[in-house]
Amino acid sequence: MLRIYHYEFCLELEVLPPGLTGLPTTHQLPQERATRLLYLPGSLEKVRAFHLAQGEARKPGVCRLYFPEESALQNFWQQYKARFAYIEAAGAVVRDANGHILFIWRRGHWDLPKGKQESTESPESAARRELAEETGLTEVSLEGPLIHTYHIYRERGQEFLKETRWFLFRSDKPHPPVQVQREEGIESYRWVQPSDVPFLYPQSYGTIRDVIEYVLRHVRPAPSR
């Protein structure tokens, strides 16, 4: 599944579940909410307009589009991306020696270190640079890539689609001190044990929740000390 956020409204793209030979109906998939849509060929601009309108209205929700096969989904996605100015970015999830995860408090939300990728750097280098700039953490080791997230935002009358590539880093110290970059709107930070992470979700972004959920579900826990 591919998710594209616009504020708290999420457009999901998914291939038809196995065993279904046509587009699903409410009888075949009774658990699907009525707000979710089916993919109709040629409706790309309508989908875009609906996606933008829901996000601009600050309406939380989900709209899921189904595709008969992966190639159809990717074809739609490439065309959809082309309707926006595209921005590449990178972000960092940091765990300390006890497996606690670093969050930063920025503009009223619990966030993670991230930023635009420079044309001369790799995604990994961009993630490490943003981590150092926003938190002062430099003595960390790269554990590996995580997922990509996508979100749309408007700036100076133009819509941008930002793709953020996320990476997992590790500090060998418990709760290493952090120097937040206040000029970037970061006010404070917090090392959070995994069991407490969901309590931060109401004051976080959908993309951040997706990244952390991936870490909690798919990444082997760091050894406790």
Q: Do 131 and 94 meet the contact criterion of CB atoms below 8 Å apart?
A: yes
Query: What is the reported pLDDT for 37?
Result: 53
- Mean pLDDT on 126-142: 97
Sign of CA dihedral 66, 67, 73, 76: negative
Query: What is the reported pLDDT for 67?
Result: 82
- Mean pLDDT on 189-216: 95
Query: What is the reported pLDDT for 47?
Result: 86
Query: What is the reported pLDDT for 28?
Result: 47
- Mean pLDDT on 139-152: 97
Query: What is the reported pLDDT for 30?
Result: 44
Q: What are the distances in angstroms from CA 103 to CA 47, 82, 167?
A: 33, 32, 14
Q: Is the pLDDT of residue 57 over 50?
A: yes
Beta strands in the chain (DSSP E): 2-6, 9-15, 61-67, 85-95, 101-106, 109-111, 114-116, 141-155, 158-170, 186-192
Give the rounded percent of residues in the chain with a pLDDT score beyond 90: 68
Query: What is the reported pLDDT for 58?
Result: 87
Between CA 100 and CA 117, with CA 151 as vertex, the angle to 5 degrees is 75
Q: Is the pLDDT of residue 131 over 90?
A: yes
Domains of the chain (ranges; CATH) run 2-81 (no CATH), 87-218 (3.90.79.10)
Mean pLDDT for the chain overall: 88
Instruction: Quickly tell me which residue has 């150092």 as its tokens.
Output: 132
The whole-model pTM stands at 0.88
- Mean pLDDT on 71-85: 93
Which of helix, strand or coil describes residue 32? coil
Query: Tens digits of per-residue pLDDT, 12-45?
Result: 998 887 776 665 554 444 444 444 555 544 478 8
